[in-house]
């Protein structure tokens, strides 16, 4: 067991390497039209299986498999995840959903139902082939795989929507609304899988009951209290010094409650951010929280995810074939279903393909899901690798496919789709 001083020194080196890798990957991918958060995802793979395959001694010295340094990365990565979802909630404009609620609900239902069915069939095949751990039953494998195929990349999608200038367009609005619907439903299903895996139905009951209680308390009690707090906190063009510690304390308690209830901390964080009073109060909070969260804390989550991958699990024909099959199923069921549903809802083919491309990204939420599943013993290391690679591939493809659709498909843009690029505070601001 290293001393506290040695542990701190080693962590400083780890963090410096992590930030350097994330920035380098980000600079490369931003030039290709990807958001920085995708660069962070790729950096996790570079520092995980790729570094382990090319320089195994350096990898084991920098990121030892035993000892406290890796768990520290995990904990700080989880903190970054909670703060990031809070910032996404602060920046989310629910008002733009009202004009497209019916189309969003229809498309969201299709984009959830079709991938669930396709994923269920895939889960049956994977279970019969022995990809899941011995203790996981066939129907648990079916339900988990359906959930993993159906989930969307809501936080990453919000950043993509903003950076592509789609904030106040039908494309961006429908994509974000559908992603929210899909992710909430997917996490309810995952709570059910966890309950059965632990042979305790109370977990699912607690997740559903606790989630409902949390939503009601935050909307009915929390919202008016936060309005009064905001009027006290804002002084002139700034905020009282005690504001940030109080809000962060409330945020951590909300994350703790939703986690303990069997849901996940990120949804508690997002909802709290979404009900915060808008205006100067939300802008000041975001300005103080976002920079260190996105630049320092969140990258540790992606790197920790990459560290769970093993080069011997990735660079085998069996895994590569599974990656192709899972990715093809994910793209065909999610992207195609969203495209057809959007077209049926009145969008042009160009915009429908764009919605399908954006919704096909799994991003951050898929990584959160498979990390939780791995910790619960629902996934083997190989299957974790398959889903992680699928996540990166579908997320990286989202923006290029959207741009290709906008350039290649004929037909005039819908008036709503060609709206001016304004409303910086509407989704997620640039780093």
pLDDT digits (tens, 9 = 90+) for 109-118: 787 888 889 9
As given in the structure block, the two tokens for residue 1 are: 């067991």
The dihedral of CA 418, 424, 425, 427: what is its sign?
Answer: positive
Q: What is the pLDDT of residue 162?
A: 67
Residues 192, 147: contact at Cβ < 8 Å?
Answer: no
Q: How far is CA 263 from CA 139, 247, 269, in A?
A: 21, 21, 12
- Please report the pLDDT score of residue 93 as a whole number: 63
Q: What is the 3-state secondary structure (H, E, C) of 297-338?
A: HHHHHHHHHHHCCCHHHHCCHHHHHHHHHHHHHHHHHHHHHH
What pLDDT is attached to residue 430?
A: 40
Helix, strand or coil for residue 157?
helix
Residue segments in the chain with a per-residue pLDDT below the cut of 70: 1-2, 92-104, 159, 162-163, 165, 167-168, 195-204, 262-263, 311-315, 409-431
Q: Give the pLDDT of residue 414.
A: 43
pLDDT at 19: 93
pLDDT score for 98: 61
**What is the dihedral sign for C-alpha 14, 20, 21, 22?**
positive
The C-alpha torsion from 210 through 254 and 41 to 421, rounded to 10°, is 100
Cα–Cα distance between 429 and 161 in angstroms, integer?
Answer: 10
* pLDDT tens-digit readout, 19-60: 999 999 988 888 877 778 888 888 988 888 888 888 888 988
Pair of tokens at residue 285 = 């909070």
pTM, to two decimals: 0.77
């Amino acid at each position: 067991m290293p001393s506290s001083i040695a542990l701190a020194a080693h962590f400083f080196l780890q963090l410096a390497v992590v930030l350097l890798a994330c920035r380098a990957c980000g600079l490369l991918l931003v030039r290709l039209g990807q958001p920085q958060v995708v660069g962070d995802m790729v950096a996790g793979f570079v520092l995980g299986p790729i570094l382990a395959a090319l320089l195994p001694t350096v990898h084991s010295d920098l990121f030892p498999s035993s000892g406290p340094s890796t768990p520290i990365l995990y904990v700080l990565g989880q903190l970054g995840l909670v703060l990031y979802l809070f910032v996404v909630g602060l920046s989310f404009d629910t008002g733009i959903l009202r004009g497209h609620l019916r189309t969003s609900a229809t498309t969201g239902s299709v984009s959830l139902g079709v991938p669930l069915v396709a994923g269920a069939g895939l889960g049956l095949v994977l279970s019969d082939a022995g990809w899941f751990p011995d203790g996981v039953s066939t129907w648990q494998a079916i339900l988990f795989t359906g959930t993993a195929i159906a989930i969307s990349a809501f936080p990453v999608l919000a950043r993509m929507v903003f950076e592509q200038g789609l904030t106040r367009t039908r494309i961006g609005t429908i994509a974000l609304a559908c992603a929210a619907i899909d992710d909430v439903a997917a996490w309810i299903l995952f709570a059910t899988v966890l309950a059965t895996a632990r042979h305790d139905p109370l977990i699912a009951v607690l997740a559903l009951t606790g989630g409902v209680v949390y939503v009601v308390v935050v909307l009915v009690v929390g919202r008016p209290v936060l309005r009064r707090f905001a009027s006290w906190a804002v002084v002139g063009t700034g905020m009282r010094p005690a504001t940030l510690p109080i809000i962060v304390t409330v945020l951590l308690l909300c994350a703790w409650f939703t986690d303990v209830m069997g849901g996940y901390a990120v949804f508690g964080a997002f909802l709290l951010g979404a009900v915060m009073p808008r205006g100067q109060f939300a802008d000041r909070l975001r300005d103080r929280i976002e920079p260190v969260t996105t630049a320092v804390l969140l990258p540790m989550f992606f790197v920790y995810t990459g560290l769970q991958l093993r080069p011997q699990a990735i660079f085998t024909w069996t895994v590569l074939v599974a990656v192709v099959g899972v990715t093809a199923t994910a793209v065909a069921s999610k992207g195609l279903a969203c495209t057809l549903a959007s077209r049926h809802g009145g969008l042009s083919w160009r915009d429908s393909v764009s919605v399908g491309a954006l919704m096909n990204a799994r991003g951050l939420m898929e990584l959160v899901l498979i990390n939780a599943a791995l910790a619960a013993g629902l996934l083997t290391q190989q299957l974790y690798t398959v889903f992680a690679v699928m996540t990166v591939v579908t997320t990286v493809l989202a923006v290029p496919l959207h741009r290709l659709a906008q350039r290649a498909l004929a037909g005039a843009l819908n008036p709503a789709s060609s709206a001016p690029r304004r409303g910086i505070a509407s989704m997620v601001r640039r780093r």
